[in-house]
Amino acid sequence: MTEEPIIQIKNAYKNFGHIEAVYDVSLDVQIGEVLVIIGPSGGGKSTLLRCINRLEVIDKGEIIVDGVSVNNPKNINKIRAEIGIVFQLFNLFPHLTALENITLAQQVVRNRKKKEAEEIAHYQLQKVGIGEKWNSYPSHLSGGQQQRVAIARSLAMDPKIMLFDEPTSALDPEMIKGVLDVMLALAEEGMTMVVVSHEMGFVKAAADRIAFLDFGRLVELTTPDQLFNNPKTERTREFLSQILE
Amino acid sequence: MTNHRSKPPADSTGKEIPGSSFDRPGLIIPWKDLPWWAVIILIVGVYIGYIMLTNVKYIEALTFVLDLPWHKETLQVDDISENGDWLLTSKTSLGPGKYTLYVEYLDENDNVVGQSEKFNIQITSDAIDYALEPLTIPSEEYITLDSTRPTISGSSPEGERAILYDDFSRKPRLILLNIWRSDGLFLTLRVTMISFSSALILGLLFGLMRVADRSPDLRKNIFIRLLIGLVMIILAGIFTSLPEDIWKIALFVISVEGLMVLFPAIPYTLSTLYVEVMRGLPMLVIILYMGFAITPALRNASGGWITGEIDLRGMPSAIIGLSIGYGAYLTEVFRGGIESIPKGQMEAARSLGMSYFQAMGYVILPQAIRVILPPLGNDFIAMLKDSSLISVIALPEMLQRGRLWISRTFRAFEGYNSVAILYLLMTLGLSLLVRFIERRTSID
Ligand SMILES: Nc1ncnc2c1ncn2[C@@H]1O[C@H](COP(=O)(O)OP(=O)(O)OP(=O)(O)O)[C@@H](O)[C@H]1O
Ligand SMILES: [Mg+2]
């Protein structure tokens, strides 16, 4: 690809006290690419993802998103509005309805009129398949429905990048498919996505590349085929055999 | 099935009606929220109320403590002459408008023995301050006067003294105004509400400062801060005379720039200091301080401008004292409420591009409010009780009125009972309300 990568991570380090959560990680993500991050618990997947929109601040190195450095940004809020993030525990606003969850940031950050924001919200809810639930509070929605509202909330901001941090790991098995379908459709549309997930179905169907993180280090970064059929290190092989059981 | 009675009622289809049997429509009394002790208190209260309201002394004490300003204002008091004639001129000038004046006759023990008919008068807008020929004939129609100090005369078959009243019972605006001015119960409520509102603002501001970063990055924007410090030093040099001594100037520069370097850490430090100091002082000490130390000191320091132009004595200093004292407690309530909201909420809001304060205002605080409503209610009740402390700076609130009545009648028992009953009525009612809110907010 000749185009400039939309995410550039250059020798990023992040420590929590003595824990090396991210250690000398460098990787690029191209426009429209789906990058999946896998790795054992505590490997630093969430931390790396959160560094991209500066929920965590790296200690060393540089992260450039869409041509702007997030190390010392003039306007972090503007950059964040371009990066959607979906959390493991949804983090919907419990005091607002599904619709209000989606319109709030549009009105406050994107300065859209209420009516316009609501139209977009209805459209996004329809797209994630729960259009009829617009007036429900999060506590009245199932986990899968909540996660889809959370995805719609991010999409309504017209992000250039979507980050997913284990979006299905807090869901009951029968809910997982609905959320994965939404993510697959999004990947199909050409959204740039960085996804932390161990859902092999999704990985095989959508991933362009896979990164394997262990002890904060980027152990491998290849295509799914390469990784599954011909893992480079013993550590990767071990981990894969565990999750593919 | 062993216990049939505990089963909720079933409808005709055999399916169970959802919800408990308390959810019957049409029942307005919130039985669920009414604890059993409230019922006992209600019964005892009715009993005590009966005893009190059939006892003249209690009624007298209660009226004095309540100081209800319903319908009359004294304009002048004078003796009635031997032959029963009286002549009264309003002491104060009346503004333009319509008035209903009448006179009450008192015997030697100050008991009311009769009253005159009503005089309706209208004072013109260009009326001047002089007393007019006495009005002798009461009238239903409004008599237009160009004097602001009407004189009224008549004769009374009995009575020793006469009081000229302005009856404003049909003027809601005046009643409100008099409620605003009256002592006793309304002074207590007024002071509590004003102080609580300002304590809420203080609590919110300092609460937000309390949850600010406690070890912020001092390097961020440091040059801008140092520059601001430099500008302040130069401005200080221009507008005030800096000390001659080079060491003193150096000390001044170092302190200002030092504070600017530490500036990001100041909100947390300052609010913590405020909370710790204020919570460590008894409310009584704070109020005495405000009334007898700070206010006079401010007057001296401002060359008499404060408590000359701006009068801080009395109510203002009481309100300031209560507000800053309770502001510290409310700060902790707000901090607790904000910190009780999961971290993910702030992260989700910030990830969507909201600023810190937008996230606070739209996401965190609306949720925190539900958490802190009950403790806020409890602090309101506590403040209502603590407002009795302002009697030490001689404000005629409920307790002070009660003591005044006791010092006149030497009936301590009735006096303090009346004060206690009035406080209890308010605090018990409010705590029921708080319970109700607590249940409501804990449901969802
Ligand atoms: N805020 C924090 N404070 C201290 N340590 C942290 C913090 N966040 C993460 N860590 C530590 O950093 C390391 C990496 O954490 P991270 O959450 O990125 O792992 P992960 O790969 O996402 O794991 P999981 O699969 O369990 O979510 C872990 O050892 C974790 O304990
Ligand atoms: Mg994680």
In 3D, which of A145, A149, A158, A30 has the Cα closest to residue A84? A158
Q: Is A154 on the interface with B (CB under 8 A)?
A: yes
More confident residue, B157 or A138: A138
Q: Residue B311 pLDDT > 80, yes or no?
A: no
More confident residue, B253 or B299: B253
Q: Which structure tokens are listed for B127?
A: 């009326």
Residue B74 DSSP code: E
* Rounded Cα–Cα distance for residues B271 and B260 (Å): 17
Q: Is B193 on the interface with A (CB under 8 A)?
A: no
Determine the pLDDT at residue B296.
81
* Rounded Cα–Cα distance for residues B308 and B305 (Å): 5
Q: Which structure tokens are listed for A157?
A: 């901001």
More confident residue, A120 or B6: A120
Q: Residue B46 pLDDT > 60, yes or no?
A: yes
What's the distance, CA A148 to chain centroid?
13
CB A182 within 8 A of CB A210: no
Q: Is B353 on the interface with A (CB under 8 A)?
A: yes
List all residues whose CB is within 6 A of at least one atom of ligand 1. A 16, 19, 21, 39, 41-47
* Rounded Cα–Cα distance for residues B223 and A172 (Å): 53
Q: Residue B156 pLDDT > 50, yes or no?
A: yes
Whether domain B73-181 has CATH 2.60.120: the reply is no
* pLDDT confidence bin for B13, thresholds 50/70/90: very low
Beta bridge partners of A29: A7
| DSSP string computed for B213-272 | -SS--TTTTHHHHHHHHHHHHHHHHHHS---S-HHHHHHHHHHHHHHHHHGGGHHHHHHH
Determine the pLDDT at residue B247.
85
**How many angstroms does the Cα of residue A94 sit away from the middle of ligand 2?**
22
Q: Residue A10 pLDDT > 80, yes or no?
A: yes
Q: Which structure tokens are listed for A202?
A: 């999704």
Q: Which residues contact A116 (CB under 8 A, 6 or more apart)?
A: A106
* pLDDT confidence bin for B439, thresholds 50/70/90: confident
Q: Residue B26 pLDDT > 50, yes or no?
A: no
Q: How far is CA B214 from CA B144, B209, B218, B273, in A?
A: 70, 9, 11, 13
CB B177 within 8 A of CB B235: no
Q: Is B173 helix (H, G, I), strand (E, B) or coil?
A: helix
* pLDDT confidence bin for B33, thresholds 50/70/90: low
More confident residue, A13 or B312: A13
Are residues A95 and B362, on separate chains, in Cβ contact within 8 Å?
no
In 3D, which of B264, B235, B269, B266 has the Cα closest to residue B252? B235
Q: Strands (DSSP E) along B335-439, which ranges?
A: none
Q: Residue B27 pLDDT > 60, yes or no?
A: no
Determine the pLDDT at residue A156.
96
Mean pLDDT of the B272-282 span: 95
> How many Cα atoms sit within 13 Å of B392 on the Cβ side?
17
Determine the pLDDT at residue A30.
95
Determine the pLDDT at residue B444.
53
Q: Which structure tokens are listed for B229?
A: 């410090």
Determine the pLDDT at residue B238.
81
In 3D, which of B395, B419, B393, B391 has the Cα closest to residue B405? B419
CB B399 within 8 A of CB B391: yes
Q: How far is CA A37 from CA A48, A214, A217, in A?
A: 9, 10, 12
> How many Cα atoms sit within 13 Å of B306 on the Cβ side?
14
- CB count in 10 Å sphere of residue A67: 9
Mean pLDDT of the B432-440 span: 84
In 3D, which of A49, A2, A14, A59 has the Cα closest to residue A161? A49
Q: Which structure tokens are listed for A192?
A: 């740039």
Taking every pair of Cα atoms in chain A, the longest distance, rounded to a whole number of angstroms, is 56
- CB contacts of B347 in chain A (<8 Å) are 55, 87, 91
Would you list the domain boundaries of chain B? 73-181, 219-261
What's the distance, CA B47 to chain centroid?
30
Would you list the domain boundaries of chain A? 1-82+161-245, 92-159
Residue B33 DSSP code: G
Q: Residue B130 belongs to what H/E stretch?
A: strand B119-131
Ligand that comes closest to the CA of residue A211: 1
User: Each residue of B248-268: pLDDT tens digit?
Assistant: 888 888 988 888 888 888 899
- From the list B347, B358, B362, the residue facing A91 with the nearest CB is B347
* pLDDT confidence bin for B21, thresholds 50/70/90: very low
Ligand that comes closest to the CA of residue A37: 1
Ligand 1 atom nearest A43 alpha carbon: 21
Range with the largest mean pLDDT of A229-233, B190-194, B436-440: B190-194
**Among A9-18, A125-134, B42-51, B373-382, the least confident range:** B42-51
Mean pLDDT of the A15-24 span: 94
| Cα–Cα–Cα angle for A104, A110, A114, rounded to 5 degrees | 50
Determine the pLDDT at residue A160.
95
User: Each residue of A175-206: pLDDT tens digit?
Assistant: 999 999 999 999 999 999 999 999 998 999 99
Q: Which residues contact A52 (CB under 8 A, 6 or more apart)?
A: A7, A9, A63, A65, A70, A83, A161, A163, A194
User: Each residue of A53-63: pLDDT tens digit?
Assistant: 999 999 999 99
Determine the pLDDT at residue B16.
40
Q: Is B111 helix (H, G, I), strand (E, B) or coil?
A: coil
For residue A72, the chain B residue with the least C-alpha distance is B220
- CB count in 10 Å sphere of residue A226: 14
The whole-model pTM stands at 0.81
Determine the pLDDT at residue B310.
65
More confident residue, B159 or A45: A45
Q: How far is CA A191 from CA A6, A127, A156, A179, B217, in A?
A: 12, 15, 13, 16, 36
Out of A22, A23, A45, give the residue to mutate to test ligand 1, the one with the largest number of ligand atoms within 8 Å of its CB.
Answer: A45
Determine the pLDDT at residue A2.
56
Q: Is A221 helix (H, G, I), strand (E, B) or coil?
A: strand
What percent of chain B is helix, strand and coil (3-state, nearest 5)? 60, 15, 25
**How many angstroms does the Cα of residue B302 sit away from the middle of ligand 2?**
60
* Rounded Cα–Cα distance for residues A138 and B354 (Å): 20
Are residues A93 and B354, on separate chains, in Cβ contact within 8 Å?
no
Q: What are phi and psi of A102, to 5 degrees?
A: -85, -30
CB B325 within 8 A of CB B196: no
Q: Residue B14 pLDDT > 60, yes or no?
A: no
Determine the pLDDT at residue B29.
59
The residue contributing the CA closest to ligand 1 atom 3 is A16
> Domain A1-82+161-245 falls in which CATH fold?
Rossmann fold (3.40.50)
CB A13 within 8 A of CB A188: no
**Among A135-139, B280-284, B291-295, B423-427, the least confident range:** B291-295
Q: Is B349 on the interface with A (CB under 8 A)?
A: yes
Determine the pLDDT at residue B308.
63
* Rounded Cα–Cα distance for residues B326 and B207 (Å): 13
Mean pLDDT of the B241-248 span: 76
Determine the pLDDT at residue A75.
85
Min distance B347 CA to chain A CA atoms (Å): 7
CB A51 within 8 A of CB A244: no
Radius of gyration of chain A, Cα coordinates, nearest whole angstrom: 18
Q: Residue B381 pLDDT > 90, yes or no?
A: yes
Total CB pairs under 8 A between chain A and B: 60
CB B406 within 8 A of CB B415: yes
User: Each residue of A86-140: pLDDT tens digit?
Assistant: 999 999 999 999 999 999 999 999 999 999 999 999 999 999 999 999 999 999 9
Mean pLDDT of the B376-405 span: 93
Determine the pLDDT at residue B307.
64
* Rounded Cα–Cα distance for residues A48 and A64 (Å): 13
- CB contacts of A65 in chain B (<8 Å) are none
* pLDDT confidence bin for B154, thresholds 50/70/90: confident
User: Each residue of B103-143: pLDDT tens digit?
Assistant: 888 888 777 788 888 888 888 888 887 777 888 888 788 88
